[in-house]
Structure 1
Amino acid sequence: MRDLAWLLFAPDLLRVDQAGAKLAQPFASSAEREATLAWLHTLDAAPDPLHVRSRNPRSTRLGIYAESLLEFFLAHGPAARLVAANVPLRQQRRTIGECDFLLETADGARVHWELAVKFYLHIGDGASATARLSDYVGPNLQDRFDLKYGRLLTHQLALTTRAEFAALKLDGPWDAQLFIKGRLFYHDDSVIPAPEIGERHVRGWWLTASEWRAGHQAIDDARAWVVQPRLAWLASRRLQAGEAESLMAEAAAIHASLQAAVAPTMVASYVRDGAGGWTEESRGFIVPDDWPERARAFAASAL
């Protein structure tokens, strides 16, 4: 439920006036927004249909999980109506692309949404000029914001204009829009984000394992650290009392594993709240000590 609400209400990663394409708006009016909030409250009281749709024990791919949440909203929510999802385009039996979502708004407009949920670490420093999109790299150094951005604009959003799409007889015209959410992680809070980045984008931090050991690893009865599995990367979380007991029992083992990070690891800091549970305070990545050098080389390859 938190993840679905986060997808719908979290700020976009890109600025409206710098995105290079239209940004998707889940609600066409304030009335639809209020109706969605009421629908979420009702669903929260009986969420089994959402759980059945979104839980796939055979998949740990975050993109597929996010797609399942957004598809549920379009199929059952009070706003736009889902026409089709994951529509493949083929050329001589070869798949050349897939339209994420085709939907129809309350006023009859037909819209094509491409969903992207991305988590990038900024690898510049605060003393340099304004960041570039290529300075934002994926934790495993297999993805970069400029590459993803270019692919979305030049390929994904253009799918509904291709002859292969016209052959599917899905009446349009279709208004292509980018639905982009995520979180950007900074080593230096003074960094000026790239011009394309949304002013209110969700932020986090990153540290090397040595920096972590030097002063950010303390645990006590009021604070603990949790490794975030990939499918828990979306919304901030609150742990109930029972989960908190399990957390404290594992705190020492988690603490030890983080000090010797051999791969970038997303973690969250939790603090006790007044209701007997734990509330997430901040989120970041702990990376191996050699990761920044490799990340800078990956970012520099864009030049």
Structure 2
Amino acid sequence: MKALEPAANAAVALDALLDSLVDPAVRDLAWLIFSPDLLCAQPPAGMLAIPFESAGEASATVAWLLALDQDAHDLHQSLSASHVTRLGRYAECLLGYFLRHGPAARLVAANVALRRAGRTLGECDFLVETASGKRLHWELAVKCYLHAGGARASMADYVGPNLQDRFDLKFTHLLDHQLPLSAREEFASLGHSGPWDAQMFVKGWLFYRWRDAADAAAAAAPVPAEIHPAHARGWWLARGDLSRFAAGHAEAWAVLPRLAWLAPRQRVPVDHSTGAAVRLLDSGALAEQLAQQSGPTMVAAFARDGGACWFECSRGFVVPNDWPERALAYAGQ
């Protein structure tokens, strides 16, 4: 593994940090904290959550993660006690652990339900306080969207793999409903004195359609202004294109269970934080396993690092052959 020097500023080199971490849950936590946002700031209402007030806090967090990687038993116990099965809940537990035990902003409350006349209006994900006394309301979301393949630069073109979610709908709900919760009159009665600065903590991956080299120009989809240009990227392709894509692309493959969708994976027999197996396959075995799947499946390509270790070199979704047409229709609704 590469040696990691203490971070000199808040712009921590994520790849170098991940190369220095072994434990899957610690790697996922580091990715959650330091990976690029999916969204650009949308002032005045949609400001981005920044986990650190100073370069010192960022450096201290790197040191804390390196130490946690040496003994992650307490983190594993915390995740196990939460009985995590959903990706969003897994991310909440990781961020909550950082806010309770890390060297930066501190947790005031989590999952604060706001009710009126017995009806739940919503929940504030995290209330945090910084070292300087700033009181922040963070709304966390971890999303994986596939660009439907159209030529438009529209948030509506980014759709969930199961075509039950769209980035434009999530974005609108975040700005118009979730972020304003802590400013409502009803919130003042809950005992968490404010005011609270609402911020969005939106991480994840966006996936773009793979095409043959001859169609490479068509594969470069324009990115909407709302999306951060440095966002984490992957690819997607229909099952009928898998054999052409897989040939020469990677030495080994793995189907990624949902709780392995955060940080790029290292070669580990079992992710002990989630119990999710990550088993390496050749391209033929991958095709056989995908033939048993009915919907979109996230897979990762692996390469050797020059020795006996494997690392993820790319990831993407393999979708049913009729999915692209259905995705375009869903994007256009």
Aligned-residue identity in percent: 55
Where does 1:91-240 land on structure 2 (aligned, <5 Å)?
91-125=116-150, 128-129=151-152, 131-187=153-209, 189-213=219-243, 215-218=244-247, 223-240=251-268
Tell me how far apart the structure 2 counterparts of residues 30 and 16 of structure 1 sit (CA, whole Å). 20
* Bigger Cα displacement from structure 2, 87-96 vs 176-185: 87-96
Distance 1:250 1:212, change over 3 A: closer
Q: Indicate yes or no: 2:36 matched with 1:6.
A: no
Q: Indicate yes or no: 2:304 matched with 1:272.
A: yes
Q: Indicate yes or no: 2:317 matched with 1:285.
A: yes
Distance 1:94 1:250, change over 3 A: farther
* Bigger Cα displacement from structure 2, 55-64 vs 110-119: 55-64
Q: Indicate yes or no: 2:65 matched with 1:40.
A: yes
Q: Indicate yes or no: 2:50 matched with 1:25.
A: yes
Distance 1:19 1:172, change over 3 A: closer
Count of aligned pairs between the two proteins: 293
1:238 partner SS: coil
2:279 partner SS: helix
**In the TM superposition, what is the alpha-carbon distance from 1:237 to its structure 2 partner?**
1.1
**In the TM superposition, what is the alpha-carbon distance from 1:273 to its structure 2 partner?**
1.9
* Bigger Cα displacement from structure 2, 133-142 vs 8-17: 8-17
Distance 1:249 1:176, change over 3 A: closer
What amino acid sits opposite 2:89 in the alignment? Answer: I
What amino acid sits opposite 2:139 in the alignment? Answer: E
TM-score by length of 2: 0.83
Contact 1:209 1:260 in 2 (8 A): no
Distance 1:276 1:150, change over 3 A: same
CA RMSD in angstroms comes to 2.1
Tell me how far apart the structure 2 counterparts of residues 226 and 26 of structure 1 sit (CA, whole Å). 32
TM-score by length of 1: 0.91
* Bigger Cα displacement from structure 2, 156-165 vs 135-144: 156-165
Contact 2:108 2:129 in 1 (8 A): yes
Aligned with 1:52 (options 50, 54, 77): 77
What amino acid sits opposite 2:38 in the alignment? Answer: L
Tell me how far apart the structure 2 counterparts of residues 257 and 18 of structure 1 sit (CA, whole Å). 46
